[in-house]
Structure 1
Amino acid sequence: MRAIRAASAALLSAAAVVATVAPAAMAGEDDHNVTSFGFSVSPETVAPGGSVTLKSDGCEVPSVTVTSGVFDTVTLNEGRSGNATVDIDAKAGAQYEITFDCKGERGTATLTISPGGTGGHPTGHEESPPPGAHKGVKAGYGTATASGADTDGLGVTEVVTGVLLIVGALGAAVVLTRRRATDGRL
């Protein structure tokens, strides 16, 4: 009977954690980017001095103003895309917020500054190996997301999935403990 009470208490504790953590974690995820108009920046990672394409659609006014601390203000007219040149002195590895403003409604995107040129090489070109040498396999990029940006810590999906797995395991333990108790094997 003690095992059933302990398992029930653990199950209730895990459920309380899910009820507390999941809504708070989900609330902080991109709420400020829910807008009535669409917007994008491409590419999401660029070298200092590089160029990005800014797009917006669905804004009822004829223009959208795009601002950032890493390039001059750009006005997108009537759904047309625009280009911006990133400051040459942009800090490598830094992330800059880009704000799209449609009639006072704002949405943001993040632009990451790469360290130097493409792939971290200042010239944008990889060095050629000596004749007859094998370059090998590039490995170690397993922590990148689909957008190519590294993630810091666990996301909402990982936290909720982990908590649900724990709750499921505890629930199974309670069921098995009760079956044993009714069979008289305890």
Structure 2
Amino acid sequence: MRAIRVASVTLLSTAACALAAPLASANDGGTTPNVTSFGFTVSPTTVAAGGTATLNATACEEPLVKVSSGVFDAVELNEGKSATVKVDADAKAGARYEVTFDCKGEKGTTTLTVAGHSTGTGTGTGTGTGTGTETGTTTPSKGVKAGLGGGAGGLNGTEIAAGSALLAGALGGGVYLMRRRADGSA
């Protein structure tokens, strides 16, 4: 009988931990990068030194979002409007810089990469014909849309009902088995 009680307690504890794990990861106070209650983008995500990038933030309850990075001057996005920033001309090619968006103390981050410098070479003849090649890094046209991720939204009513049913079933099964053992019919 003791083994059944131990098994029942173990089953109930495991079920409770399994149901609580998504809640713990969903509410971390905004410390996990890119898991925020607001959305933000940097476009493009790869820019040449001296080039420009567009910053955007959406769904911030406060009309002012502060954006900072070590590769451009800090800016403020007012009422959901985007801003264009100029990347420092002396930024190191290939370096990745963290861009931080701050919405009333909640911070989200993404990365801005500085592209390698483009070099061109060419050859030609005196008649004006020739060949040339261009090498360098291409720039993507869209940035990363960060925000509320897949498991960070919490549990919905269906998940809560399913979890409750599992717990009730485990508890009911444990009680049934203990009573059956106590009656000596097993």
TM-score of the pair, normalised by structure 2 = 0.50
Whose radius of gyration is greater, 1 or 2? 2
- Which has a greater percent of strand? 2
| Higher RCO (CA 8 Å, separation ≥ 6 residues) | 2
